[in-house]
């Protein structure tokens, strides 16, 4: 048999309370049972929505709080007091004047600085002795802003496609006609897909915005596309730079080409140290291998570091060279000259020309001037067959490496410091010390020295024979000349000094000029008191006197002849008069 028991509970505070129910029976004895009673509030606080704030910006909100009640109450005695709010567990907020109308209250709140991300806000109030509270989420967003423009102030149209890797939510944004962009993101990890003009797009994987420095959130995108003569040597299809200031793991650039190309010749060059504002490379250019998508007529470039990219087909160079000889002595200076042309037969100015002997440090460089070049390089010192590399390079042109075989032989050379003209006096001895130097690269043996064309009785060499004369060695030889006094001789003798060894035969031409002795006047000259004229001046005076004498004689003869002719004319006249009887 079931019975319905109605129990009247006195006023209790909110929360859990325990009751004991005791039933007394004559027959079954006393029965006891404990009940747990939850005393709930008839009111509930409801906040209409979450709060959105932005990093490093003042955040003030009028929070709308709704009081829901489950039982009718007397609105005349309804009183709201003790309004409060706090961030998290222990950061109280200052609340302005709360305005309540009926069961709706407006909490004017000003939030303190908060890091980007999600935070919990607690709010509460009292109704009589009842305390009510609720909580909601405050979202602090990153604000990403900037303008995309080139160094020459051209605004760029860019589309942003951003995917939250945790939620899968995709957001899209776009710059306005002035290149400006502005959008909000919460801390997290995203994929960014950026689309630029002329078929260029860049995807940045796993962009980490969890602990990003706020200074990177402004103007984090740069883009430029231009063509210049700095790409000399390339038929350029695309040349551009993408700069991205947010941290990312890796990325891929896709470039759609508008015209078909020879894929086998297509190359991509990159400058990692590009100076955006000056449009120039601050480092070196590096050739990289792209992924070719022939079906889509596109090029894909994977990267972990953004740079300036040049996509194109490399031009070729051609060189016409001249070399003096291909058999040279060790360390001999070799001249290489020629012209540099491109694949359209135009001369190439400023090409770097390098000549270098393989496996040696003998090298030299120059630049072509209107295509022409001339460069000198020393041959290796050792003998043998060597390869001379003629390298031509400029910018992005396909470089040239021409291999020229050069044979290096040992130089055989001996130097003698004999004068070209040697003056001697007949009957007197002339002594000279000659230096015989081996200035070649071969040691000489059994070296014989003599003078060709001169009577052996008139000279001697000391020593006339050298057992050896090694490379770089110098030996002194005395050369003594004496022309006999009582012989009839010539005034000048063309001669040759000869060095003859097992390895070399060398002739040095020189002239021997013999001064004949003068006949001396043995009479003793008495002092006259007149000035003594030096002999050199005396010789000149004599020569002048003789010349003047000859001139006077010639003039005398001419005058004598004219006188005779005149006298003959007079005599003829006298005879004629005599015959006429005058």
Residue 126 and residue 184 in one domain: no
The pLDDT of residue 13 is 60
Residues in CB range of 551: below 8 A, 6 or more apart:
none
355 CA to centre of own chain: 21
Question: Residue 192: which of 146, 248, 123 has the closest Cα?
Answer: 248
Q: How far apart are CA 394 and CA 371, in angstroms?
A: 12
Residue 237 and residue 325 in one domain: no
Q: Is residue 32 part of a domain?
A: no
The tokens for 438 are 């081996």
The SS3 of residue 56 is: coil
What does the pLDDT look like over 494-513, one tens digit per residue?
999 999 999 999 999 999 99
Domain stops at, among 140, 156, 182: 140
Q: Is residue 67 part of a domain?
A: yes
Q: Taking a C-beta distance cutoff of 8 angstroms, is the pair 106, 64 a contact?
A: yes
Q: How far apart are CA 183 and CA 170, in angstroms?
A: 13
Residue 246 and residue 295 in one domain: yes
Q: Is residue 557 part of a domain?
A: no
Residue 274 and residue 185 in one domain: yes
Q: Taking a C-beta distance cutoff of 8 angstroms, is the pair 140, 55 a contact?
A: yes
Query: Is residue 463 reached through a cis peptide bond, with omega within 30 degrees of 0 on the bond before it?
Result: yes
> In whole angstroms, how far apart are CA 290 and each of 272, 478, 568?
16, 78, 120
Question: Residue 148: which of 236, 55, 245, 258 has the closest Cα?
Answer: 245
The pLDDT of residue 191 is 97
Question: Residue 440: which of 357, 369, 383 has the closest Cα?
Answer: 383
Q: How far apart are CA 13 and CA 447, in angstroms?
A: 134
Q: Taking a C-beta distance cutoff of 8 angstroms, is the pair 351, 310 a contact?
A: no
Residue 327 and residue 286 in one domain: no
What does the pLDDT look like over 212-265, one tens digit per residue?
888 889 999 999 998 876 788 888 889 999 999 999 999 999 999 877 778 888
Q: How far apart are CA 231 and CA 352, in angstroms?
A: 16
pTM: 0.59
Q: Is residue 551 part of a domain?
A: no
Q: Is residue 538 part of a domain?
A: no
Residue 230 and residue 288 in one domain: yes
The DSSP code for 398 is B
The DSSP code for 457 is G
Burial class (CB in 10 A: 0-12, 13-18, 19+), 80: middle
pLDDT in tens, the chain (582 residues): 566 666 666 655 666 767 777 767 666 666 677 777 766 667 888 887 789 999 989 999 999 999 888 666 555 556 788 999 999 888 999 899 999 887 889 999 999 999 999 999 999 998 877 888 899 999 999 999 999 999 999 999 999 999 999 999 999 999 999 999 999 999 999 999 999 999 999 999 999 999 888 888 999 999 999 887 678 888 888 999 999 999 999 999 999 987 777 888 888 999 999 999 999 899 988 889 899 888 888 999 998 888 899 999 888 999 999 998 899 998 889 999 999 999 889 999 999 999 999 888 889 999 999 999 999 999 998 889 999 999 999 988 999 999 999 999 988 999 999 999 999 999 899 999 999 999 988 999 999 999 999 999 999 999 999 999 999 999 999 999 999 988 778 889 999 999 999 999 999 999 999 988 766 555 555 554 444 444 444 444 445 545 565 565 566 556 555 545 544 444 434 334 433 444
The pLDDT of residue 579 is 39
The pLDDT of residue 578 is 37
For residue 351, the tally of other CB atoms under 10 A from its CB is: 25
The pLDDT of residue 568 is 44
Residue 244 and residue 382 in one domain: no
Q: How far apart are CA 574 and CA 582, in angstroms?
A: 9
The pLDDT of residue 300 is 94
Q: Is residue 576 part of a domain?
A: no
The pLDDT of residue 537 is 45
Domain stops at, among 497, 515, 533: 515
> In whole angstroms, how far apart are CA 450 and each of 459, 493, 497?
9, 15, 6
Q: Is residue 382 part of a domain?
A: yes
Q: How far apart are CA 431 and CA 557, in angstroms?
A: 53
| Domain coverage including residue 341 | 317-407
The SS3 of residue 444 is: strand
Check which CATH number belongs to the domain holding 390 and give it. Answer: 2.60.40.1930
Residue 321 and residue 371 in one domain: yes
Residue 292 and residue 152 in one domain: yes
The pLDDT of residue 530 is 43
Residue 130 and residue 161 in one domain: no
Check which CATH number belongs to the domain holding 505 and give it. Answer: 2.60.40.10
The tokens for 393 are 């390079």
The SS3 of residue 570 is: helix
The pLDDT of residue 529 is 47
Residue 156 and residue 288 in one domain: yes
Give buried/exposed letters for 533-551 (b at 16+ CB in 10 A, else e).
eeeeeeeeeeeeeeeeeee
Q: Is residue 3 part of a domain?
A: no
Partner residues linked to 506 by β-bridges: 499
Q: Please give the tally of structural domains in the chain.
A: 4
Domain stops at, among 379, 407, 435: 407
Residue 221 and residue 161 in one domain: yes
């Amino acid at each position: 048999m079931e019975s319905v028991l109605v129990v009247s509970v006195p006023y209790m505070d909110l929360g859990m309370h325990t009751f004991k129910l005791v039933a007394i029976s004559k027959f079954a004895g006393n029965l006891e049972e404990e009940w747990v009673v939850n005393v709930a509030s008839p009111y509930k606080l409801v906040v209409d929505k979450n709060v959105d704030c932005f990093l490093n910006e003042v955040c003030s909100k009028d929070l709308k709080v709704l009081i829901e009640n489950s039982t009718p109450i007397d609105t005349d005695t309804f009183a709201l007091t003790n309004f409060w709010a706090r961030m998290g567990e222990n950061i109280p907020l200052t609340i302005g004047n709360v305005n309540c109308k009926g069961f709706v209250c407006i909490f004017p709140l000003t939030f303190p600085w908060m890091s980007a991300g999600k935070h919990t806000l607690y709010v509460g109030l009292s109704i009589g002795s009842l305390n009510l509270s609720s909580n909601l989420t405050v979202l602090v967003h990153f604000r990403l802003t900037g303008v995309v423009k080139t160094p020459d102030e051209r605004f760029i149209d860019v589309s942003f496609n951003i995917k939250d890797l945790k939620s899968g939510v995709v957001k899209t944004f776009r710059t306005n006609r002035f290149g400006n962009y502005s959008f909000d993101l919460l801390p997290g990890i995203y994929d960014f897909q950026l689309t630029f003009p002329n078929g260029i797009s860049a995807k940045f994987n796993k962009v980490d915005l969890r602990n990003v420095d706020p200074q990177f959130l402004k103007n984090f995108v740069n883009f430029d596309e231009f063509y210049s003569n700095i790409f000399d040597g390339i038929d350029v299809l695309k040349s551009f730079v993408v700069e991205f200031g947010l941290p990312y793991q890796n990325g891929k650039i896709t470039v759609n080409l508008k015209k078909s190309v020879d894929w086998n010749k297509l190359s991509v060059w990159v400058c990692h140290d590009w100076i955006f504002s000056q449009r120039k490379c601050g480092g070196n250019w590096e050739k990289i291998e792209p992924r070719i998508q022939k079906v889509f007529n596109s090029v894909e470039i994977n990267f972990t570091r953004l740079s300036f990219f040049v996509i194109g087909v490399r031009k070729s160079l051609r060189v016409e060279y001249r070399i003096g000889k291909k058999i040279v002595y060790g360390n001999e200076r070799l001249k290489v000259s020629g012209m540099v042309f491109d694949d359209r037969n135009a001369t190439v100015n400023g090409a770097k020309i390098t000549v270098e002997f393989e496996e040696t440090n003998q090298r030299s460089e120059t630049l072509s001037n209107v295509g022409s070049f001339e460069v000198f390089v020393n041959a290796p010192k050792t003998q043998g067959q060597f390869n001379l590399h003629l390298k031509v390079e400029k910018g992005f042109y396909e470089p040239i490496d021409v291999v020229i075989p050069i044979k290096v032989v040992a130089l055989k050379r001996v130097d003698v410091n004999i004068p070209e003209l040697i003056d001697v006096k007949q009957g007197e001895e002339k002594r000279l010390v000659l230096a015989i130097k081996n200035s070649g690269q071969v040691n000489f043996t059994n070296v014989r020295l003599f003078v060709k064309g001169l009577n052996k009785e008139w000279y001697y060499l000391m020593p006339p024979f050298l057992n050896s004369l090694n490379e770089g060695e110098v030996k002194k030889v005395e050369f003594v000349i004496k022309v006999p006094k009582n012989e009839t001789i010539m005034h000048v003798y063309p001669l040759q000094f000869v060095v003859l060894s097992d390895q070399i035969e060398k002739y040095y031409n020189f002239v021997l000029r013999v001064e004949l002795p003068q006949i001396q006047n043995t009479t003793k000259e008495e002092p006259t008191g007149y000035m003594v004229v030096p002999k050199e001046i005396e010789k000149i005076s004599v020569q002048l006197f003789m010349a003047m004498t000859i001139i006077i004689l010639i003039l005398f003869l001419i005058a004598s002849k004219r006188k005779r002719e005149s006298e003959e004319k007079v005599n003829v006249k006298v005879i004629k008069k005599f015959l006429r009887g005058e």
